Amino acid sequence: MLNAAFMVVGSVVFAVLQKGAGLSVPMSFVLLGVASLLVAIIIGRTMPASWMNDFLSIVFRAFFQLEVKGLENIDKAGSKTIIALNHVSFLDPPLATAVLPKRPVFAIDVAMSKHWWIQPVLKVMRTMALDPLKPFSVRDIINAVRDGDTLVIFPEGRITVTGSLMKVYDGVGLIADKSDAMVVPVRIEGPEATIFSRLKRSQVRRRWFPKITVTILEPVKLNVDPELKGRKRRQAAGAALYTIMSDLIFRTTSTDRTVVEAMIDAAKVHGPNWLAIEDPVSGQMTYKRLLQATAVLGAKLKPLALEGRSLGVMLPTSNGAVVTLLAVMSAGRVPAMINFTAGAANILAACRAADLDTILTSRAFVEKGRLDALVEELGKQVRIVYLEDIVAPQHAGECGAGRGPHRFRPRRQIVQRAAGVPLFRPAGRHGAAAGFRRLDLSLSVAAALPHGAGTGVRRLRHRAVRHRYVPQRLCPRGESL
pLDDT tens per residue across span 108-120: 877 777 777 777 7
Residue 270 annotated to the active site: no
- How would residue 249 be classed by pLDDT, with cut points 50, 70 and 90? confident
Q: Are 238 and 173 in contact (CB under 8 A)?
A: yes
Give residue 384's pLDDT.
93
What does each C-alpha distance from 190 to 19, 166, 218 come to in angstroms?
58, 17, 21
- How would residue 66 be classed by pLDDT, with cut points 50, 70 and 90? very high
Give residue 225's pLDDT.
84
Give residue 434's pLDDT.
39
Give residue 398's pLDDT.
47
Q: Which long-range contacts (CB under 8 A, 24 or more apart) does 341-346 make?
A: 342/431, 343/374, 343/431, 344/374, 344/377, 344/378, 345/431, 345/432, 346/431, 346/432
Q: What share of the chain is helix, strand, coil (3-state, %, to 5)?
A: 45, 15, 35
Best CA proximity match to 3, nearest among 54, 34, 43: 43
Under CATH, to which class is 53-251 assigned?
alpha beta
Residue 345, φ and ψ in degrees, nearest 5:
-60, -45
% of the chain residues with pLDDT over 90: 16
> Do the bridges between strand 436-439 and strand 423-426 make them parallel or antiparallel, or are there none, so unpaired?
antiparallel
pLDDT > 70? residue 311 = yes
- How would residue 213 be classed by pLDDT, with cut points 50, 70 and 90? very high
Q: What does the pLDDT average to over 140-153? A: 87
pLDDT > 50? residue 274 = yes
What does each C-alpha distance from 49 to 1, 95, 153, 427 come to in angstroms?
18, 16, 22, 62
Give residue 396's pLDDT.
44
Q: Are 272 and 481 in contact (CB under 8 A)?
A: yes
Give residue 37's pLDDT.
75
Give residue 148's pLDDT.
85
Q: Could you tell me which residues are beta bridge partners of residue 184?
A: 83
Q: Are 472 and 259 in contact (CB under 8 A)?
A: no
- For the chain, how many helices (H) and strands (E)? 17, 17
Q: Could you tell me which residues are beta bridge partners of residue 278?
A: 284
Among the listed residues 87, 406, 451, 467, the single catalytic one is 87
% of the chain residues with pLDDT over 70: 73
Domain map (residue ranges) of the chain: 53-251, 259-477
Tell me if the domain spanning 259-477 has CATH number 2.40.50.180. no
Instruction: Tell which phi-psi region holds residue 370, choosing left (phi > 0), alpha (psi between -120 and 50) or beta.
Output: left
Which of 90-99, 143-152, 447-456, 468-477 has the weakest average pLDDT? 468-477
Give residue 217's pLDDT.
93
Instruction: Considering only residues 417 and 278, tell me which one the structure prediction assigns the higher pLDDT.
Output: 278
Q: What is the three-class DSSP state of 11?
A: helix
Q: Which residues of 377-398 are buried (b: 16+ CB within 10 A; e: fewer)?
A: ebeeebeebebeebbeeeeeee
Give residue 472's pLDDT.
35
Give residue 426's pLDDT.
41
Average pLDDT, the chain: 76
